[in-house]
Amino acid sequence: MRVTVEQASLARALSQTTRVVAPQNTLPVLSGVELTAQGQSLHLYATDLTTALEADVPAEVSEPGHIVLPAGTLTDLIQRLPTALVDIAAETSAQAVIRYGRNQATIHGFAEDRLPEFAHLPRNAAVAVTIPGHVLAEVARQVLFACARDEARPILKGVAMELGEGRLVFAATDGSRLSQVWYAVPDHLEAPRQWVWPAKAVTEASRLTAGLDTVTLWMSPHVVQLETAGFRLTSRLLEGQYPEYQRVIPQQYVAECRVELSALRGAVERVNLIAQKDRSASLRIVHEPGMLELGTVSQDIGHAREVVECQSTGQPLDLLFNPHFIADVLKSLSSAEIVVEFAGTQSPARFREVGGSTYQHILLPLRQLV
Amino acid sequence: MRVTVEQASLARALSQTTRVVAPQNTLPVLSGVELTAQGQSLHLYATDLTTALEADVPAEVSEPGHIVLPAGTLTDLIQRLPTALVDIAAETSAQAVIRYGRNQATIHGFAEDRLPEFAHLPRNAAVAVTIPGHVLAEVARQVLFACARDEARPILKGVAMELGEGRLVFAATDGSRLSQVWYAVPDHLEAPRQWVWPAKAVTEASRLTAGLDTVTLWMSPHVVQLETAGFRLTSRLLEGQYPEYQRVIPQQYVAECRVELSALRGAVERVNLIAQKDRSASLRIVHEPGMLELGTVSQDIGHAREVVECQSTGQPLDLLFNPHFIADVLKSLSSAEIVVEFAGTQSPARFREVGGSTYQHILLPLRQLV
């Protein structure tokens, strides 16, 4: 293999591609990136066996071939090269010589000169949907944090995407909270179908699509794929039945508060200074007409109480929440004013933005024995 | 105790003062900050028993008194308060009530209402030297990194300061490298005396004096102290005999290279990508007339070779260095061009800036068996 490529293009492609490489691998070659020189491009490929990223960099190929090189070392080196052009040559899979100007470095390759092949997605059998470029970034910011972290119910570690009846819905739940955002897709009036993305695929997809006008997603029953300028992301979908989360969203609320987001955030941050340092402390939210009172009591650290004014209707309520979960939902909101709705002391509360947003977060209060 | 203080002043004073609090303490109360309301100020005091920081914040004291509160929680809370004024009240050492506007938080205090007292420095028996405000920041950047990290020779964990014969010298060495900077102090023509600062005191002193025109240091045989607007830093000095490091500085060199710092830094960064990932790899520097060649060979990762042009005189040389130490010294230099001098294959090399700088770094090459 022998190619000449632009340093800047290769550095950019490598830094994206090698992001999917898992930090620790049982299979050593998975810490590598596969370089294939063919036609007029250098093809990069990295995978953790769940998600794969491929990139194509325009190249002058003087000898076609392929090699797998350690992803971290190669990326770090290429990013630091001072020359406009880089020459990469490999006679065998044992090593590649990187030449830049009159200097050079030699990097040992893996014995295997190919990474394991990844699931293919037959486009003609796939469902396609085209969405604005900002959608996946919003999903990453507003929905992803509600995924489960533990392995108790593996399906909850993913983000559920539902397409049909004119809507594209993304949702995540860990069993005690639910984040959901939806977009109108007038071309898709068929019966809804569902795919569950692994969290990592959402993160990488949001990076690849930031700043784009539109992006097309391709879904087969087991694989999702998207392509943007020069990059192709492919991910296996999570297998299993995603819970019917729509049923937990309250249809009626007994109190509604419209409150300034920055004021509520500041108060929660201060009260949480005490609540979050104590594993057993919870955040208490009391609704009285025209105000939300936030409080916490920690045996070890102390206690705090803050009052935030709001425009409210409905009945007074006294609820306990997980302080981390309240902080999370306030981070996911961005309108100047938000609406908090309560459905009773044993029922979930709803947080949503004021204006045209189609994002909502549903949060269960903590149970109180007495 | 009861005081009213400006939130901004208290937040600034606390964030500086509580920096000396050690993250883990065998004596729990040392994770606290002592607040003393007296006269027209609130006095803050924190210590790790080696270094102490005190601050005074103008205050309206309605009831004198003192309390020790957890440094981290108090600082985090005060920094986040939205009001211009803060009221702190403590009836006993058990808890303090922090009132801001109509909201409040209560923080539990320590059973002890005082921190251990720290070494006093009798000013009339102390040596004083006044230096420009930038000096300690330079010492922190150029000298501190050469301190020993391990406990083998505890005295080498400090920075030696020598005053006398018209010079103030700061130096640190870990046994294989030496960083030294000196300043003219025409008022001090007496015989040189030496004090060894703990590394933490240098770090905190450099923060407190950044941006000041001048600062006065007070030294007794066992304690060093400095005062800046509102803050007083006091530190015990390290006890023991600091090695006579002047003797290791070569008096004669067999080769001198003048080289562009950014070019040398870039080359070392790239070669070090391979050298630093391999614990056993070293950085090879070869001097030939007009050039420095940098190289490394790692059994596991690969090898690299770079040539940097220089203006040089003297004989050709071939030396091995610790790659981390070469990276460190290049970080400590800032002139556009630097001078590297070699004194032979078994003797230390010297790195210095071009221009009026009085900073130099002496670095032993690695021994080569064969």
| pLDDT, tens only, A187-209 | 999 999 999 999 999 999 999 99
Average pLDDT, chain B: 95
Under an 8 Å CB criterion, which residues of B touch A? Answer: 70, 73, 76-77, 80-82, 95, 102-108, 266-267, 269-271, 273-274, 277, 300-307
Angstroms from B137 CA to nearest CA on chain A: 29
CA distances from B82 to A8, B71, B101, B316 (A): 46, 20, 9, 66
B304 vs A273: CB contact, 8 Å cut-off? no
Confidence of residue A23 (pLDDT cuts 50, 70, 90): confident
Model confidence pLDDT, tens digit, residues A275-309: 888 888 899 999 999 999 999 999 889 999 999 99
> What pLDDT shows up at residue A280?
84
Q: Lowest-pLDDT range, A345-349, B72-76, B118-122?
A: B118-122
Report percent pLDDT > 70 for chain A: 99
Give residue-wise pLDDT tens across range A53-83: 999 999 999 999 999 999 999 999 999 999 9
The chain A residue lying nearest B72, using CA atoms, is A273
Q: Give the pLDDT score at A343.
A: 96
Residues on A contacting B at a C-beta cutoff of 8 Å: 70, 73, 76-77, 80-82, 95, 102-108, 266-267, 269-271, 273-274, 277, 300-307
Chain A with chain B: Cβ pairs closer than 8 A: 86
Q: Nearest CA of chain A to the CA of B61: how many Å?
A: 23
pLDDT tens per residue, range B243-264: 999 999 999 999 999 999 999 9
Whole-number pLDDT of residue B334 = 94
In the three-class reduction of DSSP (H, G, I as helix; E, B as strand; rest coil), residue A90 is classed as: strand
pLDDT for residue A370 is more than 70: no
Least confident of B25-29, B69-73, B97-101: B25-29
Report the percent of chain B where pLDDT is more than 90.
89
Q: Which residue has the tokens 């997603």?
A: A217
pTM of the model: 0.90
Tokens found for residue A269: 């941050």
Q: What is the mean pLDDT of residues B330-350?
A: 96
CB within 8 Å of B190: residues ≥ 6 apart:
B164, B165
Q: What is the mean pLDDT of chain A?
A: 95
Rounded to a whole number of angstroms, the distance from the CA of B67 to the nearest CA of chain A is 15
Report the pLDDT value the prediction gives residue B370, as an integer from 0 to 100: 61
pLDDT value of position B119:
81
pLDDT at B358 over 90: yes
d(CA A212, CA A207): 10
Model pLDDT, residue B218: 97
Confidence of residue B85 (pLDDT cuts 50, 70, 90): very high
**CB within 8 A of A57, min separation 6: which ones?**
A5, A6, A9, A10, A13, A41, A42, A44, A230
Query: Considering CB atoms only, which of A106, A266, A301 is closest to B303?
Result: A106
Cβ pair B312, B287 in contact under 8 A: yes
The pLDDT assigned to A7 comes to 98
Residue B189 clears pLDDT 70, i.e. is over it: yes
Give per-residue pLDDT as tens, B202-230: 999 999 998 899 999 999 999 999 999 88
**Mean pLDDT value of segment A19-35:** 91
Q: Which residue, among B323, B318, B327, B321, has the nearest Cα to B292 in the 3D structure?
A: B318
Domains defined along chain A, listed by start: 2-108 (3.10.150.10), 123-247 (3.10.150.10), 250-363 (3.10.150.10)
What is the widest separation between alpha-carbon atoms in chain A? 77
Closest CA to A16 of A188, A304, A209: A209
In B, minimum Cα distance to A76 occurs at B273
ipTM metric = 0.86
